[in-house]
């Protein structure tokens, strides 16, 4: 089956908005602009987006030895499969992201203080150890790159 056929099959499985509400997959709020989404539906709909993220599999496996172990044990087939099913939701970086150190400590004064206290050796180390998981940006307008895109 071609990649285009697989992609169109995913699109073909999308139910109407009314059906999603009727089946309680989506629950609109009467008091805000938000709605709740059934989590497994959300995960399924996210797959094409996560699959498009540029993953440096060699770097990913070297950085996450537990993923290498999961592959060895047959729990996942590859770093790519792990990232799509688990790694994205575990806030794992898919490739090395270089931090603009001066911007980062200026944007996050608490990180500057943590570096001064020697809690972290650098802004890069902070970002890799906790900043990415906290949703901090390594530089202005950061977004994960799609496959074939320029890595930051």
Residue 27, strand partner residues? 36
Does the pLDDT value for residue 7 go beyond 60? no
Q: Tell me the per-residue pLDDT of 102-152, one tens digit each, with 9 for 90 and over.
A: 999 999 999 999 999 999 999 999 999 999 999 999 999 999 998 865 555
Binned at pLDDT 50, 70 and 90, residue 1 comes out as very low
Its domain, for residue 15, covers 1-38
> Would 17 be classed as within a structural domain?
yes
> Would 22 be classed as within a structural domain?
yes
pLDDT attached to residue 148: 65
Number of domains in the chain: 1
Cβ distance 151 to 55 under 8 Å? no
pTM of the prediction? 0.80
Q: What is the CA radius of gyration of the chain?
A: 19
Q: Tell me the per-residue pLDDT of 53-88, one tens digit each, with 9 for 90 and over.
A: 999 999 999 999 999 999 999 999 999 999 999 999
DSSP letter at 144 equals: P
Binned at pLDDT 50, 70 and 90, residue 49 comes out as very high
> Would 111 be classed as within a structural domain?
no
CA atoms of 96 and 63, how far apart (whole Å): 9
> Would 16 be classed as within a structural domain?
yes
> Would 149 be classed as within a structural domain?
no
């Amino acid at each position: 089956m071609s990649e285009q056929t697989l992609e169109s099959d995913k699109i073909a499985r999308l139910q109407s908005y009314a059906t999603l509400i009727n089946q309680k997959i989506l629950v609109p709020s009467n008091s805000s602009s938000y709605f709740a989404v059934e989590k497994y539906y959300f995960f399924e709909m996210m797959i094409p987006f996560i699959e498009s993220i540029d993953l440096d599999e060699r770097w990913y496996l070297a950085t996450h030895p537990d993923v290498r172990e999961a592959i060895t044990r047959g729990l996942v087939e590859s770093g790519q499969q792990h990232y799509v099913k688990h790694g994205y939701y575990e806030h794992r970086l898919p490739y090395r992201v270089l931090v603009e150190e001066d911007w980062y400590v200026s944007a996050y004064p608490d990180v500057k203080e943590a570096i001064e206290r020697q809690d972290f050796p650098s802004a890069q180390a902070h970002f890799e150890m906790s900043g990415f998981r906290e949703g901090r940006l390594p530089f202005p307008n950061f977004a994960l790159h799609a496959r074939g895109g320029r890595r930051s």
